[in-house]
């Protein structure tokens, strides 16, 4: 077979391929490039080519093959785009996914808000000595202020110095512990999030719940800074325009002490016909300037440093979100998947 002959048969095959249009792309692939396809037949002709021209024929074959492949791809692409339309109303297929518990979601959001203004998240024992939970917080034994906390006690002998072992009734046990951890050296900006426990159970109270505790100690810390921090949190967590206010209250471990309210974002703080709030405000928790005795318990000189602290329930804070509509916080700890999967 002469050089002209094989060039011609190669070109013939190519032009044949170029005229293809209607046949399905995969059938064409079998026809041209399959085990017994036209190209295979063509390459078998190499036997009839004189040895010195075999190389040239080989090259010609390769060229032809790649051109055929190109053409086939083009046809394939064309056919794909002209296929029948996809029914866009078909139901989506979802992979099975789980969910973060709503309390985890709330804690993440709360922590991130405070971390943005320089607070360090920490974690302290949830089963702790009376000393850290009450005594170091300026609450001597048998003080009436302790009545407010329905405390669970562990059935074990009291420690000689540190007192009884209790389930933490609040995250405030982290206050003196944090001062100790930082070797009594401010600045302190702590956010302590933990499980807390009180002997109570109804639609708005569970035996176990969560609190977050903020503690700031430094030179020159004053009530304005507490207000600033509360306003910053309220706007970040509930949305722009949410206000906070502090009102006089009494805790043994802060002086002055405050009750903290956030403006109701459901009625816009007007209180008009709103069944969610009290006159436009929601009570969320307590706050105050750290009592000098608490600073002393943590080895910090109250004549040099001042500080503020606040502590609220995560559940309470979270369920005030607009449109969340959870009216029974026991659901959080029910392990009911139908509830949890909504988050």
- Within 269-298, which residues bind another protein (CB under 8 A)? 278-279, 289, 291-292
CB 162 within 8 A of CB 129: yes
Between 85 and 240, whose beta carbon lies closer to another protein?
240
The whole-angstrom separation of Cα 69 and Cα 88 is 33
- Binder among 25, 33, 45, 223 for another protein (CB under 8 A): 223
- Binder among 46, 67, 71, 125 for another protein (CB under 8 A): 125
Between 152 and 204, whose beta carbon lies closer to another protein?
152
Between 211 and 257, whose beta carbon lies closer to another protein?
257
Between 6 and 308, whose beta carbon lies closer to another protein?
308
Q: Shortest approach of another protein to residue 337 CB, angstroms?
A: 5
Q: Shortest approach of another protein to residue 202 CB, angstroms?
A: 11
The whole-angstrom separation of Cα 76 and Cα 26 is 8
Between 61 and 313, whose beta carbon lies closer to another protein?
313
If binding is defined by CB under 8 A, does position 218 make contact with another protein? yes
What Rg do the C-alpha atoms of the chain give, in angstroms? 38
Residues 6+ apart with CB under 8 A from 52: none
If binding is defined by CB under 8 A, does position 306 make contact with another protein? yes
The whole-angstrom separation of Cα 269 and Cα 40 is 83
Q: Shortest approach of another protein to residue 318 CB, angstroms?
A: 12
By CB under 8 A, what part of segment 243-262 binds another protein? 245-250, 255-259
Q: Shortest approach of another protein to residue 127 CB, angstroms?
A: 6
If binding is defined by CB under 8 A, does position 176 make contact with another protein? no
What per-residue string of b and e applies to 231-270 under the rule 16 or more CB within 10 Å gives b? Answer: eebbbbbbeeebbbbbeeeebbbbebbbbbbbbbbbbebe
Q: Shortest approach of another protein to residue 69 CB, angstroms?
A: 21
Between 87 and 338, whose beta carbon lies closer to another protein?
338
DSSP annotation of 65 reads: H
If binding is defined by CB under 8 A, does position 131 make contact with another protein? no
If binding is defined by CB under 8 A, does position 330 make contact with another protein? no
For another protein (CB under 8 A), the number of binding residues is 89
Q: Which listed range, 22-30, 60-68, 69-77, 198-206, lies at the site for another protein (CB under 8 A)?
A: 198-206
If binding is defined by CB under 8 A, does position 118 make contact with another protein? yes
What per-residue string of b and e applies to 95-119 under the rule 16 or more CB within 10 Å gives b? Answer: eeeeeeebbeebbeebbebbeeeeb
Between 11 and 222, whose beta carbon lies closer to another protein?
222
The whole-angstrom separation of Cα 331 and Cα 279 is 28
Q: Residue 105 in 3-state DSSP?
A: helix
What per-residue string of b and e applies to 132-147 under the rule 16 or more CB within 10 Å gives b? Answer: bbbbbbbbeeeeeebe
The whole-angstrom separation of Cα 145 and Cα 291 is 15
Closest CA to 32 of 12, 17, 47: 17
The whole-angstrom separation of Cα 209 and Cα 196 is 5
Q: Shortest approach of another protein to residue 272 CB, angstroms?
A: 13
- Binder among 91, 92, 323, 335 for another protein (CB under 8 A): 335
By CB under 8 A, what part of segment 77-116 binds another protein? 95-101, 103-104, 108, 111
Q: β-strands 120-122, 127-129: how paired?
A: unpaired
Q: Shortest approach of another protein to residue 80 CB, angstroms?
A: 29
Between 64 and 172, whose beta carbon lies closer to another protein?
172
Q: Shortest approach of another protein to residue 226 CB, angstroms?
A: 9
């Amino acid at each position: 077979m002469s050089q002209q002959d094989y060039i011609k048969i190669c070109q013939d095959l190519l032009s044949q391929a170029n005229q293809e249009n209607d046949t399905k792309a995969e059938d064409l692939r079998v026809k041209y490039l399959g085990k017994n396809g036209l190209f295979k037949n063509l390459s078998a002709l190499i036997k009839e080519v004189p040895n010195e021209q075999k190389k040239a024929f080989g090259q010609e074959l390769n060229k032809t093959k790649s051109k055929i492949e190109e053409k086939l791809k083009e046809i394939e692409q064309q056919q794909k785009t002209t296929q029948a339309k996809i029914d866009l109303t078909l139901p989506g297929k979802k992979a099975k996914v789980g969910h973060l518990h709503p309390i985890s979601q709330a804690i993440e959001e709360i922590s991130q808000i405070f971390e943005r203004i320089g607070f360090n998240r920490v974690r302290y024992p949830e089963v702790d000595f009376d000393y850290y939970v009450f005594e170091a917080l300026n609450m001597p034994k048998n003080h009436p202020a302790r009545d407010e906390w329905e405390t669970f006690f562990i059935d074990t002998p009291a420690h000689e110095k540190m007192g009884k072992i209790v389930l933490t009734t609040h995250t405030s046990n982290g206050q003196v512990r944090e001062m100790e951890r930082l070797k009594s050296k401010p600045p302190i900006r702590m956010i302590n999030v933990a499980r807390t426990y009180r002997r109570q159970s109804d639609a708005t109270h569970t035996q176990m719940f969560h609190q977050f505790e903020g503690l700031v100690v430094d030179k020159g810390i004053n009530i304005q800074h507490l207000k600033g921090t509360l306003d910053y949190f309220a706007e970040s967590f509930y949305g722009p325009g949410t206000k906070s206010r502090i009102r006089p209250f009494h805790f043994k471990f802060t002086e002055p002490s405050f009750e903290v309210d956030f403006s109701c974002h459901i009625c816009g703080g007007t209180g008009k016909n709103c069944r969610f709030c009290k006159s436009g405000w929601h009570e969320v928790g307590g706050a105050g300037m750290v009592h000098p005795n608490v600073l002393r318990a943590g080895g910090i000189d109250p004549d040099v440093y001042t500080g503020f602290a606040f502590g609220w329930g995560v559940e309470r804070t979270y369920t005030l979100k607009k449109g969340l509509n959870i009216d029974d916080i026991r659901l959080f700890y029910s392990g009911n998947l139908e509830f949890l999967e909504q988050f």
